[in-house]
Structure formats: C-alpha cells, structure tokens
Amino acid sequence: MARRRTVLPSGSASSAVALAVELASGRTTVESIARACLDRIEAEEPRVQAWAHLDPEPVLARARELDAVPPAARSALHGIPLGVKDIFDTYDMPTAYGSPIYIGHRPLADAASVAIARWRGALVFGKLVTTEFAAWPPGPTTNPHDATRTPGGSSSGPAAAVAAGMVPVAFATQTTGSIARPASFCGIVGYKPTHGMLPCAGVKAISETFDTVGVMTRTVEDAAFVVASLSGRALALPEQLPPPRLGICLTHEWGAAAPETVGLFDALPEVLARAGVRPVALMPPPSFAGLAEAQSRVWTFEIARCLADEYRRFPDLIREPLRSMLEEGTAMPLRDYEDSRSLVRKCQAELPRVFREVDVLVTPAAPGEAPELATTGDPIFNRAWSALGTPVVSVPAGTGPSELPLGVQIVGMPQQDARTLAGAAWVEAALDVHQDPGV
C-alpha cells in the first residue's frame, strides 16, 4: 500500500514533509511559510488559545536568517515551523511550566531536544500551553473542532495548534497519556517514541521513569521524518508500505470504552481486512491487568519528588487535583512504589510474548470523544503502554456521535519504532480519515 500523502491546503501548516520539499526546491521561502503560519495563528488563536508565548517579530527575523543560509548548508528540518510545549526550557522565551510559580521565568539554556531542533534548522515559533506541570489542572486551550470540548492534556497547546493548522509540528511529552490522548481528541497524529529516544534534559521532570519526549503532527510520515531528523534513527517510511501483522487488543481496560469506541472497534477488523490485512484478536497476559494502577502509583510517588520544592514553598499556588496528588505521593510508602515498579518490570519481560505473532497492536487511544473543558479526559488506555516504555502512534480513525474525532493507538515493541511507524502509516492509509476542524 502506498503511504498517504497530504496536500498542503492554502493557509494551513499541515505537512512538514510537503514544506521541506517546497523549501528544498526553492518554490517557497522560510519567511513566506512563517507569515502564513502567523496569519493562521492570528485568525484562530482567539478561539483556540493554544499559545503561552508567541512574539512574531523574532520569528520573522529568524526566518530571514534561515533564508540566507546556503542550500548546501541546510539540514533536514530547515525552516520547518515548530511549536514547543511550555515545559521545555527555552533560553530566549519565558518558560512557566503551566504554573503561576514560574511566571516570567527565563531559563539560561534550551532543553536538549529544542537545541537539537534549532541545530537542525527548525524555526521555533513559541511556547504552547501545557496543563499545570504537565499534570491535571487544565489550561485555557480549547479543542479546534468544538470550543466547548477539551483538546486533552497535558499537551493541550501542541495538539490544538497542529490540529488548527497553526504549525505542522509541535514538541510534546507523555508521562501517562499526554500525546496519544490529545492527538485522538484533536484528530491528528501523536507519536510517543520508545522511552529515551529523544532527550528529556531541560524538560520539567514529573517522572524519572515515564517522562518521554515526542511530537504532534498531521501525518505519520511527518512524525517519522521529524523524529528521524532529531534522533539520527532510520525511521523513514518506505514508499510502498508492507502489510503489517496486526493484533487488535482491546486491553484489560476495555470496560472504560464509550459506545462510540466500542462501535469503532466492532467495525475495525472488516475495515482493515478490506485494505488487505485480517487482524488477529489478542489480549495481554493477566499480569497486565495491574499495569494501569501500577503506572498511577509510580507516577504519584515520583511527581511528589520531582515537585518537592514547589510543593514545600508554594503549596497555595498549586491547584487541585495536583495538590492532592502531591500529598498522596509524599505520604506513599516506599514499598508500594517498589512493588509497582516490580510489576512494570515483570510485564516488560513478558512483552516479547505479546508481540510473538504480530508487528503492532491496534488499541483504543482514548475512551471516546473529547469531554467538556473541565477535564482533560481519562488516560486509562494509555497508562500501560507508558509504563512499558513502548513506542505509540495515535492515528485518526473516525468520528463519534458529536462528529468529534476518534483515534486508535498503534503500539510496538520498545526499540522497534521504525516497524511501529510503518504499521501506523499502513493503518492510517487503510482508514483514510481526513479530519479538518473547519478553521
């Protein structure tokens, strides 16, 4: 199957690969692309509220500098607009981590992933809204498909900005479900690589075990292109996608699925079979039934350590339910934490058995459509895979009863990101879902 190509609509930053081709051919300039993105942001930001910091003049000045770079000296990401979640340090922009504690905070250095992206020629636009410390309390960002619904979290701004066509790529992070779930709610692609593929240095830590840097894009091809450029890994998709061995995995958390997700997965085997692959149904081992709870306990213990200073000195500036989570983590017995870590390691050792007869799993990315703004949604279908450190790609799969996006989560073995991305691209092409928020 040929991989899906995205045609770049006028006024929309929809494809990093398409922009890279246009720039390499000389048919456009970095400044022209930057101005188009800024026009889009000006039109949509009052409704979507994706940006924590954006200053157009430095963006345009840097775009002109990039246009002056000789073609032979340009790197793969040269001129590609990039939004950055506001838990990544940036030396030239404020970094508040979604918290009033850090208003006006100016780091001295870029986060490592941001520094690498700049070195590769990416045009950093600004900082995108995160929930408070990339945890639970939501920010002001709305879903581009429906302003009364959440874009998800904690990568609220990155998902909404990409979905609204403001930028083609955004840095995001996932500790629990902060890439896969917002991507599903906003109808875009979210790629959480194998844990540790992209550096976390300079990203506000909330879990030393689970924090993972990834990206939001409009296509799987873009996600592979960007992370390959940043990591040096061979992730490029083949021109013809080989049929993957697919396993449909409803997981032990299936009881949390909304009716629209149940309907989606009822229809999925026949849809994939018509495209050329008949998936097998499988369930993880019984031990995996405890992974979601184990992930929650480990994260609760670790976030209390990571935010120990903020919790000690500024408790009144930390909102609920994060403050209660920090209280719980501070009081958690070490034995509970160690037992949960042990279960995670046990399940990691069992992963090869899960993937013995399949290349990738197709699982729910979220319980259903995006809920209303008071919450960022339930990460129940993401916890286990975040705990295991697997690569995950959320791919648009349809719409629910309110015509809001639904996604599926493509899961692979750790360190098999190329295979996972190829499988995700095949599913993306098979489902052929084109979702535009109409902005």
Tell whether 303 is covered by a domain.
yes
Same domain for 257 and 307, yes or no, is no
- Point out which residues pair with 360 in neighbouring strands: 246
Same domain for 358 and 347, yes or no, is no
Q: What is the pLDDT of residue 413?
A: 99
Same domain for 50 and 101, yes or no, is yes
Of 147, 152, 142, residue with least CA distance to 173: 152
Domain that holds residue 239: 16-281+354-431
Q: What is the pLDDT of residue 136?
A: 87
Tell whether 8 is covered by a domain.
no
Distance CA 388, CA 75 (A): 33
Structural domain ending residue among the three candidates 353, 380, 410: 353
Same domain for 331 and 383, yes or no, is no
Q: Return the structure tokens found at 409.
A: 């989560």
Contacts of 14 (CB under 8 A, 6+ apart): 6, 8, 165, 168, 218
Tell whether 406 is covered by a domain.
yes
Same domain for 94 and 116, yes or no, is yes
- Point out which residues pair with 246 in neighbouring strands: 360
Tell whether 7 is covered by a domain.
no
Same domain for 166 and 187, yes or no, is yes
Same domain for 78 and 203, yes or no, is yes
Same domain for 251 and 109, yes or no, is yes
Tell whether 11 is covered by a domain.
no
- Point out which residues pair with 217 in neighbouring strands: 189
Same domain for 317 and 385, yes or no, is no
Q: Give the residues of the chain that fall short of pLDDT 70.
A: 1-13, 435-439
CATH code for the domain of 226? 3.90.1300.10
Tell whether 10 is covered by a domain.
no
Q: What is the pLDDT of residue 435?
A: 66
Q: Decide: 303 and 206 in contact? Cβ < 8 Å.
A: yes
Q: What is the pLDDT of residue 99?
A: 98
Q: What is the pLDDT of residue 7?
A: 36
Same domain for 185 and 331, yes or no, is no
Same domain for 260 and 300, yes or no, is no
Tell whether 271 is covered by a domain.
yes
Q: What is the pLDDT of residue 365?
A: 99
Structural domain ending residue among the three candidates 353, 386, 407: 353
Q: What is the pLDDT of residue 307?
A: 99
Of 203, 382, 205, 209, residue with least CA distance to 298: 209
Tell whether 6 is covered by a domain.
no
Structural domain ending residue among the three candidates 305, 335, 353: 353
Domain count, the chain: 2
Q: What is the pLDDT of residue 11?
A: 41
Same domain for 185 and 264, yes or no, is yes
